């Protein structure tokens, strides 16, 4: 009897907790709902109070304005190039390094690895002044190169991929070498295909990270032609145009690529993000 | 002869290893290690366009007498403590409420909280700046309807910090939720079943079993959030510009302004070195935990 009463009480607690969780989940989507619906309103409707909770008319003019007044397509292209090249380059260099740290023996390996991993905790933004000077000396200010290459200098890829290489039995490498395969061939033909899920997770996570690398892109890309979507959209906020619907249309354009990526690759995120915590 | 062969072999082995890590190492040295040392060096100079004068620790001395810097440092600490605490507590609450439910429900909740993280701080700051706009934003409108004494939340020096804390927390908590859900789903079921047989209530199970078991995740979440909040910038730039009257300025915002607006590169470098030191000290527990498992 007592037990059953207890059970009932427990369920009540569980249900209350879940109602709260659900309520906040919907609330956390509300700003995005407001963003998208506002972007379809005209300049008068968007500031009308009390507001239309659902837009009365669907007005695409703001989107047309964003793409015709602003080089939004160019910004988006720049963002794609920067994120894609930085991510692919990181995958190439960090899979080589992660394989070496996991499977090869060489002098100083542990010390180098410790220095590598310690750097994970330092946001590159704190070194923005010296980094800017170096990038300037290399002639990469106001160029996409300046946004790309510093992003390859992270231990994040090694950190993420090493665990995947660690889980491959050493015997596999030994038998490949027995067959006379070179180290690089073993890495490329046998090991790399096995860690594909890790590379997938790294690709998605890092692509998004570079896409959203706002401060650095803001500093490097001051000229109109090299602005990225994030920097360009943020300048809309300071635009003289007082139409908020127009600004919200710009923000929606900046949000859509990431939303699409998330909806298609949800499982990679869940897996990739968890890797760091499991090791901790 | 044998020995020489062994040496040759070791040399070749070492060389192979170095060859594999060299591309990553090259980027690492040029864009990470070198900037750190260069940053420390620059922080000891007064830099005026092409002119550099060595001034020792004068930049640091100047900083600690600068009210705006002190304000930035205090604000950053307040942000770190409040946002990290809110994030851990709320994410634990959400994850422990849903982790043993139906998979579709879990993925819906996870997605709802994670989408703002994906959409980025830039876009979320733009939306919040619109929502909070005193003349035509939704939140001041609702505040007027409820006859609250303040409607311009970002223009009020006492309210601006809580608002920034809330916006940052709401935008970033999804990452912690994903991590906790993954960790909790990984806990073997029989532990809960045994507790249930013993008649332990759900709250007891959560506090006595679940939360202690996900402690490594908690440490990880605390560290990554400290590092993230330490460099908080976008939300300040787009929502308040550090105002009103520097009430919401942060270390990163202070650094950025000194470097790229006031052209005080020496001062900005010193701020960077201080932030670097803070980040290193704060991350020691995580690093220690990581190397224990390796």
Q: Assess if residue B270 is contained within a domain.
A: yes
Range with the largest mean pLDDT of A173-182, B52-61, B67-76, B140-149: B67-76
Q: Assess if residue A52 is contained within a domain.
A: no
The confidence score (pLDDT) of residue A70 equals 85
Q: Indicate if A203 and A94 belong to the same structural domain.
A: yes
Angstrom distance (rounded) from CA B94 to CA B180? 9
Q: Assess if residue B77 is contained within a domain.
A: yes
Q: Indicate if A128 and A205 belong to the same structural domain.
A: yes
Q: Indicate if A13 and A140 belong to the same structural domain.
A: no
Chain A residues within an 8 Å CB radius of B103: none
Please check the confidence at residue B282 and state whether its pLDDT lies above 60.
yes
Chain A residues within an 8 Å CB radius of B288: none
Mean pLDDT to the nearest integer, B27-39? 94
Q: Indicate if A106 and A204 belong to the same structural domain.
A: yes
Angstrom distance (rounded) from CA B286 to CA A87? 26
A229 at B interface, C-beta within 8 A: no
Q: How would residue A10 be classed by pLDDT, with cut points 50, 70 and 90? A: confident
- Per-residue model confidence as pLDDT tens digits over A236-248: 887 777 788 888 9
Q: Indicate if A143 and A217 belong to the same structural domain.
A: yes
Mean pLDDT to the nearest integer, A248-267? 87
Q: Assess if residue A263 is contained within a domain.
A: no
Q: How would residue A143 be classed by pLDDT, with cut points 50, 70 and 90? A: very high
Q: Which residue of B has its CA nearest to A183?
A: B16
Q: Assess if residue A53 is contained within a domain.
A: no
Q: Assess if residue B204 is contained within a domain.
A: yes
The structural domain count of chain B equals 1
Q: Assess if residue B30 is contained within a domain.
A: no
Rounded to the nearest integer, the mean pLDDT of chain B is 89
Q: Assess if residue B2 is contained within a domain.
A: no
Q: Assess if residue A251 is contained within a domain.
A: no
Q: Assess if residue A187 is contained within a domain.
A: yes
The confidence score (pLDDT) of residue A2 equals 53
| Owning domain of residue B78 | 58-293
The confidence score (pLDDT) of residue A58 equals 82
**Domain harbouring A194, CATH code:** 1.10.3720.10
Q: Indicate if A133 and A198 belong to the same structural domain.
A: yes
Alpha helices per DSSP H over A149-228? 156-166, 170-178, 183-185, 192-194, 196-211, 214-220
Q: Indicate if A87 and A219 belong to the same structural domain.
A: yes
Please check the confidence at residue A280 and state whether its pLDDT lies above 50.
no
Q: Assess if residue A255 is contained within a domain.
A: no
Chain B residues within an 8 Å CB radius of A129: 39, 42, 255, 259, 265, 268-269, 272
Closest to B242 (Cα-Cα) out of B261, B226, B269, B228: B261
A73 at B interface, C-beta within 8 A: no
B98, B106, B123: best mutation site toward chain A, by most A Cβ within 10 Å?
A: B123
Per-window interface: A 208-227 vs B, CB < 8 A: 208, 211-212, 214-215, 219
The structural domain count of chain A equals 2
Task: Determine whether the interchain pair A266/B107 forms a contact, defined as Cβ–Cβ distance below 8 Å.
Answer: yes
- Per-residue model confidence as pLDDT tens digits over A183-200: 888 899 889 999 988 898
Per-window interface: B 183-242 vs A, CB < 8 A: 183, 186, 199, 201-203, 216-217, 219-221, 223-224, 227-228, 230-231, 233-234, 237-238
Q: Indicate if A86 and A43 belong to the same structural domain.
A: no
The shortest CB-CB distance from A280 to any of B129, B265, B290 is to: B290
Please check the confidence at residue B26 and state whether its pLDDT lies above 50.
yes
Please check the confidence at residue B16 and state whether its pLDDT lies above 50.
yes
Q: Which residue of B has its CA nearest to A132?
A: B35
| Owning domain of residue A32 | 2-47
Q: Assess if residue B3 is contained within a domain.
A: no
Q: Indicate if A151 and A188 belong to the same structural domain.
A: yes
Please check the confidence at residue A158 and state whether its pLDDT lies above 90.
yes
The confidence score (pLDDT) of residue A3 equals 57
Task: Determine whether the interchain pair B24/A97 forms a contact, defined as Cβ–Cβ distance below 8 Å.
Answer: yes
Chain A residues within an 8 Å CB radius of B122: 212, 214, 230, 233-234, 254
DSSP letters for chain B:
-HHHHHHHHHHHHHHHHHHHHHHHHHHHIIIIIHHHHHHHHHTTEEEETTEEEE-TTHHHHHHHT-HHHHHHHHHHHHHHHHHHHHHHHHHHHHHHHHTTS-HHHHHHHHHHHHHHHHHHHHHHHHHHHHHT-TTT-HHHHHHHHTT-S---GGG-TTTHHHHHHHHHHHHHHHHHHHHHHHHHHTS-HHHHHHHHHTT--HHHHIIIIIHHHTHHHHHHHHHHHHHHHHT--HHHHHHTTT-STTTT--HHHHHHHHHHTS--HHHHHHHHHHHHHHHHHHHHHHHHHHHHH-
Q: Assess if residue A148 is contained within a domain.
A: yes
- Per-residue model confidence as pLDDT tens digits over A17-76: 999 999 999 999 999 999 999 999 887 787 777 888 888 778 888 899 888 888 889 999
Angstrom distance (rounded) from CA A77 to CA B5? 55
**Domain harbouring B151, CATH code:** 1.10.3720.10
The confidence score (pLDDT) of residue A251 equals 92
């Amino acid at each position: 009897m007592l037990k059953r009463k207890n059970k009932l009480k427990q369920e009540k607690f569980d249900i209350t907790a879940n109602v709260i969780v659900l309520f906040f989940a919907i609330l956390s989507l509300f700003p995005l709902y407001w963003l998208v619906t506002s972007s379809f309103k005209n300049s008068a409707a968007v500031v009308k109070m009390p507001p239309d909770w659902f837009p009365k008319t669907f007005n695409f003019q703001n989107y047309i304005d964003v793409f015709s007044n602003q080089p939004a397509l160019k910004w988006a292209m720049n963002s794609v190039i920067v994120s894609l090249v930085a991510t692919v380059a990181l995958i190439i260099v960090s899979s080589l390094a992660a394989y070496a740290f996991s499977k090869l023996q060489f002098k100083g390996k542990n010390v180098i690895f410790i220095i590598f991993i310690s750097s994970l905790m330092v946001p590159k933004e704190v070194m923005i002044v010296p980094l800017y000077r170096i990038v300037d000396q290399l002639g990469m200010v106001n160029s996409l190169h300046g946004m790309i290459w510093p992003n390859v200098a992270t231990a994040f890829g090694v950190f993420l991929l090493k665990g995947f290489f660690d889980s491959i039995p050493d015997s596999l490498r030994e038998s490949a070498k027995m067959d006379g395969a070179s180290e690089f061939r073993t890495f490329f033909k046998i090991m790399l295909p096995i860690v594909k899920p890790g590379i997938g997770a790294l690709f998605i996570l890092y692509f998004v990270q570079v896409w959203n690398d706002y401060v650095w892109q803001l500093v490097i890309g001051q000229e109109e032609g090299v602005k990225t979507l994030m920097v360009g959209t943020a300048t809309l906020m300071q635009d003289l145009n007082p139409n908020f619907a127009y600004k919200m249309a710009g923000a929606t354009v900046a949000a859509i690529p990431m939303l699409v990526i998330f909806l298609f690759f949800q499982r990679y995120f869940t897996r990739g993000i968890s890797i760091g915590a499991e090791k901790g | 002869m044998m020995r020489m062969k062994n040496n040759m072999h070791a040399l070749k082995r070492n060389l192979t290893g170095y060859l594999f890590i060299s591309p990553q190492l090259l980027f690492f040295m040029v864009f990470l290690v070198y900037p750190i040392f260069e940053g420390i060096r620059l922080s000891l100079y007064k830099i005026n366009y092409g002119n550099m004068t060595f001034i020792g620790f004068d930049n640091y001395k100047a900083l600690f007498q600068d009210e705006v810097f002190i304000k930035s440092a205090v604000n950053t600490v307040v942000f770190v403590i409040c946002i990290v605490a809110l994030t851990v507590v709320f994410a634990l609450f959400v994850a422990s409420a849903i982790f043993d439910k139906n998979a579709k429900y879990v993925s819906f909740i996870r997605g709802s909280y994670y989408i703002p993280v994906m959409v980025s701080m830039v876009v979320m700051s733009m939306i919040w700046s619109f929502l909070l706009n005193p003349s035509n934003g939704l939140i001041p409108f609702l505040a007027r309807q409820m006859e609250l004494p303040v409607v311009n939340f970002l223009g009020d020096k006492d309210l601006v910090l809580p608002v920034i804390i809330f916006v940052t927390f709401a935008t970033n908590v999804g990452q912690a939720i994903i991590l906790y859900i993954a960790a909790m789903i990984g806990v073997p079921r029989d532990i809960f079943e045994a507790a249930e047989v013993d008649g332990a209530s759900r709250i007891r199970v959560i506090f006595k079993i679940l939360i202690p078991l996900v402690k490594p995740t908690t440490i990880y979440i605390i560290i990554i959030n400290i590092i993230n909040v330490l460099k908080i910038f976008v939300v300040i730039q787009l929502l308040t510009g550090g105002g009103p009257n520097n009430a919401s300025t942060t270390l990163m915002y202070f650094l950025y302004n000194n470097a790229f607006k006031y052209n005080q590169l020496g001062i900005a470098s010193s701020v960077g070195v201080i932030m670097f030191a803070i980040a290193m000290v704060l991350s020691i527990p995580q690093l220690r935990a990581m190397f224990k498992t390796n």
